[in-house]
Amino acid sequence: MTTTALPSYEDAVSRYEPVIGLETHVELGTATKMFCGCRTDFGAEPNTQVCPVCLGLPGALPVANRAGIEATIRIGLALNCDIAEWCRMARKNYFYPDMPKNFQTSQYDEPLCVDGYVDVEVGGKSYRIGIERVHLEEDTGKTLHVGGATGRIHGATESLVDYNRAGIPLVEIVTKPVPGLGALAPEVAKAYVAELRDIIRSLGVSDVRMEQGSLRCDVNTSLNKPGEEWGTRTETKNVNSLRSVERAVRSEIIRQSGLLDQGTRIFQETRHFQETTGDTRSGRSKETATDYRYFPEPDLVPIAPDPAWVAELKAALPEKPSSKRARLREEWGISETDMESVANAGAVELIEETIAAGSSPAGARKWWMGELARRANETGVELSAVGATPAQVAALQKLVDEGKLNDKLARQVLEGVVAGEGDPAAVMTARGLEVVSDTGALTKAVDDAIAANPDIAAKIRDGKVAAAGALVGAVMKTTRGQADAKTVRDLILERLGAS
Amino acid sequence: MAAISREEVAHLARLSRLAVTEEELDRFAGQLDVILQSVARIGDVAADDIPPTSHSVPLTNVYRDDVPVPSLTQEEALSGAPDAYEGRFRVPQILAEED
């Protein structure tokens, strides 16, 4: 702990130049694991999706999942990488119970994809982030530390291990070091991870959810004085949201500049991001941990993707998310900020499909970004899994456009749709939510409201039409909100001779 | 010159989480040295035109389709475990350095 006050961020970046690098792990959404046919369902009972291969039992032999290879190549292509003509898997040896085999099947000096780039935009300016490599490996099991006070390793007396996750295909994407960003380094880091997430989501190979761990990020940061060599980097792990990516880089810049100001050396080490405070804390020293004694995996034959197949995969890549966003923003006539919120909510495709199903852009955006986004947020599910389909949202908006539902009723119908009660029209009928358009019934409700509120009625007759609001409220109450407010208002004014 | 030093054997033992006594270090270092020296002789006869071999069969691209097959049951999975608790493998305390 240092007693010297840390420099401000502005001060730090005015005197030091940051260099950042990012390592991102993406869990693929294959139906089975990378080297065996065990399922990959999230949330299954512990150790029910395991077999001799992923438990590392003697004599078990792995066979690579074609879908995992294909997804990795597609990610590489989408990141403008060259695809290796021939490469091998490797064993990364370490003794830790999260891998029952005592090694992780990974790639070492022969990654499947190399030398690509991603362009990201920050503040209207484009930055090219170089991609060093994209390689394929397998995820580890989940350990639960017990006996300690906090569930962390320190103080734990034993660990409980579930190997359901062990062997799920994991793609690691490593950037080249990115210098020259100055004060924008944290923002560019965040924009890169967001762009990467969007690209991978557009490929449909992973659900890329940071909060669930299917997209995980490690951030490397170093500082140097202008004109000097790059400094020693630290690696920050446990960065689990886009906002945390930005905060982690920022806090490392401040922390390291404080040390450098005092003439203290930066140690190459792993640090852990602290979600609550936004700073990083020292983890293990890397000295022995890097001694993984990699060697080619003898049980898996080399991967030699047919160039014709690679060309086919490349030709079939979807439109780049950034160009798609620009195109749709134009079509929908919304601001860049609004488009960013839509993208961040994972609503681009949903709104696009809703419009294709007949809704207006404004209507589609309203439901997905309003009621449904709120609900997804509350229940902690992806917007796409909230329980309503684009076709249903389009049908709902159509009922509103036709005057059969007002806004309030439409919300109730949507609630029914999300609850699985059927399509909007069916929910509307079943719940009796249609707007009251029967003029007879409405006129009676209006007359009742006038009779019950003679004072207000008198005011309206005297020309104080603003007072009509109270009567509209009364009518809406007796019709349980199922009348169109404007129609009711017109009717009140007409009955009182004030229109 | 020895192909592997006593210090290297100690280092490997630590990485492998093996408790090795001083006496064993001497013994294993000597034994491993003999093995490594023997294997190293292959390097003497392999000329530049012989590439290093990682696989003994000339196969590439052996894949399976992404189709689930039945897994072991939890009971089967845990049947060989020295210890288990609530469906999970129970293992001793993990060294703090690995945090």
Does one domain contain both A266 and A363?
no
- The answer to whether the CB atoms of B90 and A160 lie below 8 A apart is yes
Same domain flag for A39 and A163: yes
Average pLDDT value over all residues in chain A: 90
Give residue A475's domain range. 439-495
Does residue A212 lie in a domain region? yes
Q: Are A492 and A472 in contact (CB under 8 A)?
A: yes
CB A415 within 8 A of CB A409: no
Do A397 and A427 have their domain in common? yes
Contact yes or no for B99 and A52 at CB 8 A:
no
What mean pLDDT do residues A28-53 have? 97
The answer to the question of residue A4 being in a domain is no
Domain boundary among A255, A281, A307: A307
Q: Are residues A465 and A396 in the same domain?
A: no
- What confidence score (pLDDT) does residue A461 get? 85
pLDDT tens-digit readout, A72-109: 999 999 999 999 999 999 999 988 889 999 899 999 99
pLDDT tens by residue, A445-479: 888 888 888 888 888 888 888 888 888 888 888 88
Chain B interface, best mutation among A51, A98, A160, A288, by max B CB count within 10 A: A160
CA distances from B79 to A53, A162, A490, B38 (A): 16, 14, 77, 40
pLDDT at A121: 87
Q: Give the pLDDT band of residue A309 (cuts 50, 70, 90).
A: very high
Confidence (pLDDT) at B52? 80
Instruction: Note whether residue A160 is domain-resident.
Output: yes
Please count the structural domains in chain A.
3
pLDDT at A319: 93
For residue A369, being part of any structural domain is answered with yes
Q: Is A284 left (phi over 0), alpha (psi -120 to 50) or beta?
A: beta
Residue A1 lies in a domain: no
For residues A128 and A436, which has the higher predicted lDDT (pLDDT)? A128
Domain check: are A225 and A285 in the same one?
yes
Residues 35 to 94 of B: which have CB under 8 A from any A CB? 54-55, 57, 59-69, 71-74, 77-78, 80, 85-94
A1-11 pLDDT tens trace? 445 678 999 99
Is the pLDDT reported for residue A290 higher than 70?
no
Q: For residue range A162-173, what is the model confidence (pLDDT) as tens digits?
A: 999 999 999 999
Last residue of a domain, one of A280, A307, A334: A307
Q: Please give the distance of CA A157 from its chain centroid, rounded to a whole number.
A: 35
- Same domain assignment for residues A416 and A280: no
Alpha helices in A419-484 (DSSP H): 424-431, 439-452, 454-461, 468-478
Please determine, looking at this structure, whether the domain spanning B1-45 carries the CATH number 1.10.20.60: yes
Report the candidate in A212, A214, A169 with the shortest Cα–Cα distance to residue A196: A214
Q: For position A287, what pLDDT does the model report? A: 44
Q: Is residue A312 a part of any domain in this protein? A: no
* φ, ψ (nearest 5 deg) of residue A283: -110, -140
Asked, for residue A314, whether it belongs to a domain, the answer is no
Q: Rounded to whole angstroms, how far apart are CA atoms A432 and A140?
A: 52
pLDDT score for A486: 82
Regions of chain B with pLDDT less than 70 = 1, 94-99
Which of A45-54, A278-287, B47-56 is predicted with the least confidence, judged by mean pLDDT? A278-287
**Least confident window among A33-47, A260-274, A310-324:** A260-274
ipTM score of complex: 0.83
CATH assignment of the domain containing A447: 1.10.10
Smallest Cα–Cα separation from A415: which of A365, A383, A371, A364?
A371
Which residues touch A134 (CB under 8 Å, ≥6 apart)? Answer: A72, A75, A76, A79, A81, A111, A112, A113, A114, A116, A171, A172, A173, A174
CB A260 within 8 A of CB A223: yes
What value does the mean pLDDT take over residues A186-212? 93
Q: For position B97, what pLDDT does the model report?
A: 42
Q: What is the pLDDT of residue A2?
A: 47
Yes or no: say if A89 and A105 are a contact pair by the CB < 8 Å rule: yes
A27 and A168 in a single domain? The answer is yes
pLDDT score of A46 more than 80 = yes
Q: Considering A431, A455, A481, which residue would you say is the last residue of a domain?
A: A431
A158: chain B residues, CB-CB within 8 Å: 90-93
As beta bridge partners, residue B63 has A64
Q: How many CB pairs under 8 A join A and B?
A: 149
**What does the alpha-carbon distance between residue A346 and residue A202 come to, in Å, rounded to a whole number?**
11
Q: A145 in a domain, yes or no?
A: yes
pLDDT for B1 equals 67
Residue in A with minimal Cα distance to B18: A95
Task: Please give the average per-residue pLDDT across A402-418, as a whole number.
Answer: 89
Structure-token pair, residue A116: 């690509």
Radius of gyration for chain A, computed over Cα atoms and rounded to the nearest angstrom: 29
